[in-house]
């Protein structure tokens, strides 16, 4: 198909007059004066028989705020145009619902289908905070549509790193979830400008140990290719493309696990050929992700009866907060306050079963007149949902907040 006659540039919608309107609208949808007051009280509020602790860092990060602002601004700048979004702007149902109500239509992000062929030059396509694979960007450009790119700056830093690896003949070992939007976008950049680069995506420490044994020369090639099927670049040959490796990551992974993966791979390369130049690594964990994890670790030093983690079920950074919490105390991953049904019943997402479930936690409060509840939220969770959760907890304890 020939390219359209008009090649649209990427659009900067951050005009001062537009952003003033956007800020007001976003504030109404997502901000919370109650949450700000609790933050001003060092994240602690006690009312009657209940204390609630709020992590020092939680909720929207700068990259998420920017992405939402740009999506809202797109509708202000293009009030009559069709506006599309590749997948979801962020992993939060409430935010994506608001965009749907603004007639911003989601396009498939798993693959390019016929809906992309229907794009017109006057259409607007929003790239989400995770970014999008190069093939998707090429398709939008081919159709000549306007593009509003909300890709997080921390994600683009990783892209620059893996492109550099490809240029230097280094295979990118990407710590991430192979089917996550961000990891797919990063993998496409790991091929390099000319497409000659290679990548391998690994998720767990077990994956890492399997990879390390192959690097040391103990693995079976067919078993290796079968284990990681779908997680490596076309033409990937472990005998050729593991000679020089560089680690990168999905920016929302658990920092401690990424560091351990880096250490194990560095040791394997050293054991194989005593050539440190064959291993490269740079810190590409998102600062906001790290801050929220560190804040939770700090909060866990205080005795709590249970922990609530609020966010979208498909939010990677939120899931890692749940992983941290559940090692220490009863922890419940909820989308919003409506899932706290009563003092005895919480509907939540079980990371191990990969499904929503209902848990009875009455025994947590057995014999206790006063309880302490911890609360944190992923980087894609708005403050209004956090406020709803705070109020629900106190209401179920028979307390009414006067803040």
Q: Which residues are tagged catalytic? A: 182
Burial 89-104 (b: 16+ CB within 10 A, else e): bbbbbbbbebbeeeeb
* DSSP states of 194-221: TS---EEEE-SHHHHHHHHHHHTT---H
Segment (H or E) for 30: helix 16-30
Measured CA distances, 101 to 98, 335, 340 (Å): 5, 19, 26
The answer to whether the beta carbons of residues 184 and 133 sit under 8 Å apart is: yes
Token pair for 230: 């779908």
Please tell me the chain's helix, strand, coil percentages from 3-state DSSP, rounded to the nearest 5: 45, 20, 40
**76: nearest Cα among 105, 46, 36, 103:** 103
**Helix (H), strand (E), coil (C) string for 244-287:** CEEEEECCCCCHHHHHHHHHHHHHHHHHHHCCHHHEEECCCCCH
Phi, psi of 298 (to 5 degrees): -65, -45
Token pair for 301: 């030093």
């Amino acid at each position: 198909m020939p390219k359209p006659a008009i090649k649209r540039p990427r659009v900067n919608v951050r005009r001062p007059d537009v952003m003033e309107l956007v800020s007001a609208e976003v504030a109404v949808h997502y901000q919370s004066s109650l949450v700000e007051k609790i933050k001003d009280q060092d994240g602690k509020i006690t009312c009657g028989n209940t204390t609630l602790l709020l992590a020092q860092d939680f909720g929207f990060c700068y990259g998420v705020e920017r992405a939402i602002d740009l999506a809202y601004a797109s509708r202000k700048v293009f009030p009559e145009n069709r506006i599309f979004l590749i997948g979801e702007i962020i992993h939060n149902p409430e935010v994506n619902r608001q965009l749907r109500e603004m007639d911003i239509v989601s396009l498939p992000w798993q693959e390019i289908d016929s809906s992309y062929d229907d794009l017109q030059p006057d259409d607007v396509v929003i790239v989400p905070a995770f970014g999008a694979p190069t093939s998707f960007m090429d398709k939008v450009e081919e159709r000549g549509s306007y593009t509003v790119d909300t890709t997080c700056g921390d994600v683009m830093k990783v892209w620059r790193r893996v492109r550099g690896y490809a240029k230097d003949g280094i295979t990118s070992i990407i710590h991430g979830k192979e089917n996550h939007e961000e990891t797919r976008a990063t993998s496409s950049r790991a091929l390099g400008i000319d497409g000659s680069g290679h990548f391998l995506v690994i998720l767990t420490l077990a994956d890492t140990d399997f990879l390390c044994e192959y690097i040391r020369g103990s693995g079976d090639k067919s078993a290796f290719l079968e284990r990681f099927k779908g997680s490596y670049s076309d033409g990937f040959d472990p005998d050729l493309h593991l000679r020089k490796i560089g680690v990168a990551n999905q920016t929302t992974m658990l920092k401690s696990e990424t560091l351990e993966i880096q250490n194990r791979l560095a040791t394997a390369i050293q054991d194989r050929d005593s050539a440190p130049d064959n291993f490269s690594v740079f810190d590409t964990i998102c600062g906001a992700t790290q801050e929220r994890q560190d804040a939770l670790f700090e909060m866990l030093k205080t005795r709590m009866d249970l922990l609530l983690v609020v966010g979208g079920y498909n939010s990677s950074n939120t899931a890692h907060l749940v992983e941290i919490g559940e090692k220490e105390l009863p922890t419940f991953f909820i989308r919003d306050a409506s899932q706290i049904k009563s003092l005895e019943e919480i509907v939540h997402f079980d990371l191990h079963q990969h499904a929503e479930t209902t848990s009875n936690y009455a025994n947590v409060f057995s014999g206790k007149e006063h309880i302490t509840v911890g609360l944190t939220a992923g980087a894609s969770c708005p403050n209004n949902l956090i406020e709803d959760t705070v109020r629900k907890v106190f209401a179920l304890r028979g307390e009414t907040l006067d803040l």
